[in-house]
Amino acid sequence: MAMKSMFTVLLASVTMLAAVGCASKSDSGGMSSGANLCSDDGECGNLDDCEHVSTSSEGACVNHCTSDSDCGDGSVCLSGDGIGLEASCFERCESDSQCSGGFACFQVSTGETACLPKAWNG
């Protein structure tokens, strides 16, 4: 399994909030949380917003969460105070092939793996 590590700041800053899954709202316009790139909220349908981190201008359309139970199967609730990532749902993965275009499978500081925008890798 080819797994990339996140750059040091992101690896140290991203934390998993719980341990079950995250997904989209039932009326999300067919978009899954953490599976579409964006530059502003208007591109995200009924998802909460276009979440950015301090290291990149490229964002991801997400639903926010306080724990994995706020989300559906196959995803994880991640946050990163040090990089400005509000707690958001992202798809779990084991390899890049499971991630949408523009996303890659990264291992975060908790050991969890999730599809995150490639641009967030610094």
CA distance 51 to 19: 21
Question: pTM above the 0.85 mark?
Answer: no
The pLDDT of residue 30 is: 59
Q: What is the pLDDT along the chain (122 residues), one digit of tens a residue?
A: 444 443 323 433 343 333 323 333 434 455 789 889 999 999 999 999 999 998 888 999 999 999 988 988 899 999 888 888 999 999 999 999 999 999 999 998 888 899 999 999 86
Q: What is the structure's pLDDT at 6?
A: 39
Q: Name the token pair of 36.
A: 């579409």
Nearest to 13 by CA among 66, 62, 84: 84
Distance CA(41)–CA(61), nearest Å, equals 8
Q: State residue 83's pLDDT score.
A: 84
Among candidate residues 69, 59, 72, the one with its CA nearest the CA of residue 103? 59
Give the pLDDT of residue 36. Answer: 93
Q: 78 and 84 in contact (C-beta within 8 Å)? A: no
Query: In the structure encoding, which two tokens stand for residue 38, read together?
Result: 């964006």
